A = this chain, B = another copy of it.
């Protein structure tokens, strides 16, 4: 009997989790992090709030899991076709599309703002989302360094930030547009400085 019940119950759990994540992402985009409540998420997801508390200790934990589900591609790392410029442009253009999409950017902005504001939350936000996002760039740059495409003396962590931060900063502080043109110029100008000296 247990064998028969388990798959159903696990399918139900999976449906509930997905509904809770969708509700949390939609709501935080609408009301902001400060006004987001577990009650609000439960009601929007059509589950009891005890269901949420059984799995997560706080709204921050729900949100971070909701985002992590969507960014599982971090684990695969960046593409490596052997052409560093092409790979970086490909990924950053796709990321620009995401950040130019109101449905994606609103909840992410709410979380980034809450993280910037609150040092405690920021530790989790950085550890669970920002650092893994930076790390895949560091790893791709290190692979290029080993392949001789990037100078051995380059600090690849700082190089990753030279690519990522102008992008993030334009979006978060609204200091500029995230166009393909910007992305391409950024990648070209960063890589120009990383190449081995002749």
- Chain A interfacial positions (CB closer than 8 Å to B): 32, 34, 109, 112-113, 115-117, 119, 122-123, 125-126, 130-131, 134, 154-155, 158-159, 161-162, 164-166, 168-170, 172-176, 182, 185-186, 189-194
Min CB distance A181 to B, Å, is 10
Contact call B109/A174, Cβ cutoff below 8 A: no
Contacts of A174 in B (CB 8 A): 115, 119, 122-123, 126
What is the bound-complex CA distance between A111 and B117, given in angstroms? 10
Q: Would A161 and B154 count as touching, CB distance under 8 A?
A: no
* B166-A116 in contact (CB<8A): no
Q: How many copies does the complex hold?
A: 2
- Whether B186 contacts A131 by the Cβ 8 Å rule is no
**Across the interface, do B189 and A192 meet the contact criterion of CB distance under 8 Å?**
no
A162's contact among B32, B125, B166, by CB below 8 Å, is which? B166
20 CB-based A-B contacts, threshold 8 Å = A32-B117, A109-B116, A115-B174, A116-B116, A116-B173, A122-B174, A126-B173, A134-B175, A155-B185, A159-B189, A161-B166, A161-B175, A161-B186, A164-B169, A168-B169, A168-B173, A189-B193, A190-B193, A192-B194, A193-B194
Apart from A115-B174, A130-B173, A159-B189: 20 A-B pairs, beta carbons within 8 A: A109-B117, A112-B116, A113-B113, A122-B174, A123-B174, A126-B174, A131-B175, A134-B175, A161-B169, A161-B176, A162-B162, A162-B190, A164-B169, A165-B168, A165-B170, A168-B169, A168-B173, A189-B194, A191-B193, A193-B194
